[in-house]
Amino acid sequence: MLVRIAGNLARFLLSLLAATVLVFALMRVLPGDPAVIAAGQNASPEIVASLARQFGTDRPLPVQYWDWFSGLWRGDFGVSYVTRADISPLVADKVQVSLILVSAAMVLALAIAIPAGTLAAVRHNKPSGALVSAASQLGIAIPGFLLGIVLVSFFALRLGWLPANGWVAPGVDFAGFLSRLVLPVMALAGVQSAILVRYIRSAVLEVMHEDYLRTARAKGLSRMRALGRHGLRNAAIPVLTVTGVQFSALIIGAVVIERVFVIPGLGSMLLAAVGNRDLLTVQSVVMVLVAITLIVNLLVDVLYTVLDPRIRAAVR
């Protein structure tokens, strides 16, 4: 088991290294010299050249890459060519916001989807099961931002229970942080739980037809107890895969909800940086997104190994 996890870790580090090269190369391929953009349209060649020297973009590419890479290692993303601000603290802030938002949303989505999906599977031939399936179908069809707007107009504007938008760091005002977190998390979790219900339902249905569940019943376990003791852990394996993929996708996919609720997340930052042609910030955010995705994949792999003894000794 430890061998496998060590292997996963090694693969993770290699992928991360490859990603730095790829992201760096992609950003260089894009047209537009950062010095020319920063200097403005009417700048003289001397000014452009001095800016290029200041940014370091006049040096050979391998040197630039090494400079950036060693900065990453220290947690230093460099200084924005456009705003001249230090990028690292900004990115760190946004990462925190996005991770809190998305983690809370995924936890809520799973908390809804696991019982709902299991119910839909167990009662798949009864009206209640069909109702859950239909609700999940509907949930997938409703865009998250629409749900967000509906939630805001009801809970914030009509009832006035919660603030309509904004963000406060948890360290500054925890109650304010929580009250601003509730609505965006509900908006994100609504769609995610609808998606997860479908996967959980089919995973549980499949497990219900497995021979070992029949064995459990033949041992005298009730339907629900057999499912609880023997089924759910087996069903968790495919659900884990989807949860990982959805989590990674949501880090950036939450951008629409961030807009609706005026939340300063990574998605909004990336969108703004692309608009400003802020090359180094784009590069930094993309790198952070890649790293998060790889970390999530690593965690999913490690969890597989913990959950399934067969994977521990898999023949390649």
Could you list the residues that contact other proteins (CB under 8 A)? 3-4, 6-7, 10, 125, 210-212, 214-223, 229-230, 233-234, 307-310, 313-316
Closest approach, Cβ 215 to other proteins, in A, equals 5
Query: How many angstroms separate the CA atoms of 192 and 25, rounded?
Result: 34
Closest approach, Cβ 69 to other proteins, in A, equals 26
Minimum CB distance to other proteins smaller for 180 or for 201: 201
Minimum CB distance to other proteins smaller for 11 or for 259: 11
Distances (CA, A) of 76 to 4, 250, 290: 32, 25, 17
Query: How many angstroms separate the CA atoms of 5 and 256, rounded?
Result: 36
Minimum CB distance to other proteins smaller for 5 or for 256: 5
Minimum CB distance to other proteins smaller for 53 or for 214: 214
Closest approach, Cβ 32 to other proteins, in A, equals 45
Closest approach, Cβ 311 to other proteins, in A, equals 10
Of residues 114, 104, 105, the one with CA closest to residue 136: 114
Minimum CB distance to other proteins smaller for 53 or for 229: 229
Angle at 233 between CA 231 and CA 235, to 5 degrees: 65
Closest approach, Cβ 300 to other proteins, in A, equals 17
Q: Check: CB of residue 181 under 8 Å from CB of residue 103.
A: no
Closest approach, Cβ 237 to other proteins, in A, equals 9
Query: How many angstroms separate the CA atoms of 216 and 136, rounded?
Result: 30
Residues 6+ apart with CB under 8 A from 67: 56, 59
Minimum CB distance to other proteins smaller for 3 or for 150: 3
DSSP helix/strand/coil, 138: helix
Query: How many angstroms separate the CA atoms of 142 and 176, rounded?
Result: 28
Query: How many angstroms separate the CA atoms of 138 and 141, rounded?
Result: 5
